[in-house]
Amino acid sequence: MESPHRPPRVRPAGLAPFASAVLALSVLAGAASPARAAPARVPAACEPAPGDAPVALRSLSEAGDVALEDGRVLRLAGLDWGGGAPGSPDRLGGARAALLAWARGGVTLRVLGEPDRWGRIPALLFRAAPPAEAGMALLRDGHARAAPQAEVHACAAARLAAEADARRDGTGLWAGPGSAVLGPGDADGLAAQAGGMAIVQGILRVHDGRGALYLALGRDRRGFVAVVSRRDAKLFARAGLDLRDYEGTPVRLRGDLDARFGPRMRITDPDAVESLEPGSIADGR
């Protein structure tokens, strides 16, 4: 039965793979419950498959790029490496050690698209025994945060659940403030995380603008705001979702944070929005 505090969750049939949102699927808030939730089912698209190609890992750079022994460079899809300035001493030392240790015994590669302008190939890495995917392992151990990307939409719910476990336990990057989930009024925290991906939670207020929807997370509209362009809002509509239906409910947003015009986040993918348990966040936080 649907909660009376939430609008109905609608998933029309025949949607494009990226169009359905975590917002409408499940509640994955680590702070909402002190108990560890049952592990989310990992879809087949996020598990090893016979067509994946064997590869050997060479290194993980401080920018988070994975170099293979054959010279190719990968961008592990759907991961953000958390706070800390790129180029700072051994920023990803823990993630590097964990990934190379995880890959012992051999891994396989699944290419998800064409290289970006820097030549990085969006990809997933898998281990056969025991079966596992690198992104899930890094998230579960707190070495990365889940980033909303269409390439890994099928894995989004399971990845958010893995991230929530690490956050609840204070593991890895969750042990410090550099990657913490922020409130909309945390000016210092927002300033510190500006220029990279941030995760901000609060009570949703939706304001219509001429060319966009503006999402405030609390009573004060002068601070943090997330922006969904009219074009990007069509992705939500295709998923059968209307952000206005979530007015007054707790949500968690994730995306690149820009401080040049005040703390502002651009939301481009429905997977950037999580719906949280009613009462899990105080209004105005």
Please tell me the distance from the alpha carbon of residue 189 to that of residue 169, in angstroms, as a whole number. 21
Cα–chain center distance at 30: 14
Same domain, 169 and 193: no
In the predicted model, is pLDDT for residue 56 greater than 80? yes
Question: CA angle, 251 as apex, 230 and 175 as ends, to 5°?
Answer: 120
Looking at the fold, whether 101 and 194 belong to one and the same domain comes out as no
User: 254 lies in a domain?
Assistant: yes
Q: What mean pLDDT do residues 247-252 have?
A: 95
38 occurs within a structural domain: no
Residues, the chain: 285
* Domain closes at, from 116, 151, 175: 175
Q: Is 249:5 a contact under the CB 8 Å cutoff?
A: yes
Q: Is residue 64 domain-shared with residue 153, that is, in the same domain? A: yes
Mean pLDDT of 18-31: 36
pLDDT digits (tens, 9 = 90+) for 108-139: 999 999 999 999 999 999 998 888 999 999 99
Q: The CATH number of the domain where 242 resides is what?
A: 2.40.50.140
The residue among 144, 159, 175 that closes a domain is 175
Q: What is the pLDDT of residue 24?
A: 40
- Measured in degrees and rounded to the nearest 5, phi and psi for residue 267 equal -105, 120
Verify that 92 and 112 share a domain, yes or no.
Answer: yes
Between 44 and 175, the higher pLDDT residue: 175
Could you give the percent of the chain with pLDDT greater than 90? 61
Say yes or no: 69 and 189 in one domain.
no
Structure pTM?
Answer: 0.83
Are 107 and 166 part of one and the same domain?
Answer: yes
143-176 pLDDT tens trace: 999 999 989 999 999 999 999 999 999 999 999 8
State the pLDDT at residue 284: 54
Kindly state whether residues 156 and 200 are assigned to the same domain: no
Q: Among the three residues 151, 175, 199, which one is the final residue of a domain in this structure? A: 175
How big is the CA angle at 203 (ends 202 and 207), to the nearest 5 degrees? 115
Q: The domain that contains 96 carries what CATH number?
A: 2.40.50.90
* Domain interval for residue 202: 179-275
| C-alpha to C-alpha distance for 247 and 261, rounded to whole angstroms | 24
Flag whether pLDDT at 278 surpasses 90: no
Claim to verify: residue 225 and residue 165 sit in the same structural domain: no
Q: What is the mean pLDDT of residues 249-264?
A: 93
Q: What percent of the chain has pLDDT over 70?
A: 80
What are the strands, taking DSSP E only, across the chain?
53-55, 57-60, 65-68, 73-76, 79-80, 107-111, 120-127, 132-133, 145-146, 197-208, 212-217, 225-229, 250-258, 264-266, 273-275
Question: Is 211 found in the same domain as 153?
Answer: no
Mean pLDDT for the stretch of residues 98-113: 95
In a domain, 10, yes or no: no
Q: Classify 20 as helix, strand or coil.
A: coil
* DSSP class of 11: -
The tally of domains found in the chain comes to 2
Residue 4: partners with Cβ closer than 8 Å, 6 or more residues away: none
**Phi, psi for 199 (deg, rounded to 5):** -120, 120
255: which 2 tokens?
């995306």
Q: Does 223 fall in a domain? A: yes
- Same domain for 51 and 168, yes or no, is yes
Structural domain includes residue 27: no
